[in-house]
């Protein structure tokens, strides 16, 4: 569905007005502000696996604003510092409760894929939760129209939800 939306937006962009330099204005080139968070309970490993996909340019802009330094997630000059910024940002903007108990996300790493950054976290030693509560404010401080998609899978049962800024809380029952 997301791929279809991107294709539609690409086709639509051909009819948008261009600037003097022949390029689309920034807002027209990138009309959507969206992140995707996948939460999967791995029953075999008894871990909760979390991955967040965020457009690289939006993420770098937000991190630059917060840390007051230029951030390059594509080829960071200081990888440990980039890891720290990504970890701290996500851990402060994505909060989880499993069966009403707050959990701490452990940072696994991040990687760039095309025009997005995937960051990975886990919560070890978890039984299959009956309820997952999520507070997700990723990029809310930067974009009024930010949407945060979430897909949660437990026991093969997948549920999805979309938060639109300023909405920040979702609950998944299994």
pLDDT tens profile 95-128: 999 999 999 999 999 999 999 999 999 999 999 9
User: Any idea where the domains of the chain sit in the sequence?
Assistant: 32-173
Quote the pLDDT of residue 20.
Answer: 52
Cβ atoms of 132 and 172 within 8 Å: the answer is: yes
Q: Residue 102 is inside which H or E element, if any?
A: strand 101-103
Quote the pLDDT of residue 9.
Answer: 43
Quote the pLDDT of residue 40.
Answer: 98
Cβ atoms of 57 and 30 within 8 Å: the answer is: yes
Distances (CA, A) of 107 to 52, 89, 99, 134, 142: 11, 11, 21, 17, 23
- Please give the model's pTM, rounded to 2 decimal places: 0.81
Classify residue 121 by burial, with Cβ atoms within 10 Å: 0-12, 13-18, 19+: buried
Least confident piece of the model among 12-16, 28-32, 102-106, 130-134: 12-16
State how far Cα 159 lies from the chain centre: 17
The four Cα atoms 163, 88, 40, 57 give a dihedral, to 10 degrees, of: 60
pLDDT digits (tens, 9 = 90+) for 27-85: 445 568 999 999 999 999 999 999 999 999 999 999 999 999 999 999 988 999 999 99
Mean pLDDT computed over 4-12: 41
Cβ atoms of 43 and 156 within 8 Å: the answer is: no
| Look-up of token digits 């890891």 | 83
């Amino acid at each position: 569905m997301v791929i279809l939306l991107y294709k539609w937006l690409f086709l639509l962009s051909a009819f948008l007005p261009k600037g003097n330099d022949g390029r689309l204005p920034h807002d027209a080139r990138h009309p959507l502000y969206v992140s995707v968070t996948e939460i999967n309970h791995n029953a075999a490993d008894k871990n909760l696996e979390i991955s967040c996909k965020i457009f690289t340019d939006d993420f770098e802009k937000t991190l630059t604003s917060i840390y007051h330094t230029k951030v390059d997630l594509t080829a960071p000059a200081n990888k440990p510092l980039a890891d720290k910024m990504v970890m701290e940002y996500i851990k402060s903007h994505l909060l989880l409760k499993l069966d009403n108990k707050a959990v701490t996300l452990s940072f696994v790493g991040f990687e760039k894929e095309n025009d997005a950054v995937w960051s990975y976290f886990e919560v070890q030693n978890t039984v299959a939760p009956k309820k997952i509560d999520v507070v997700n404010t990723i990029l809310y401080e930067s974009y009024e129209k930010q949407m945060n998609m979430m897909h949660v899978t437990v026991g093969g049962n997948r549920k999805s939800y979309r938060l639109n800024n300023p909405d920040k809380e979702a609950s998944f029952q299994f």
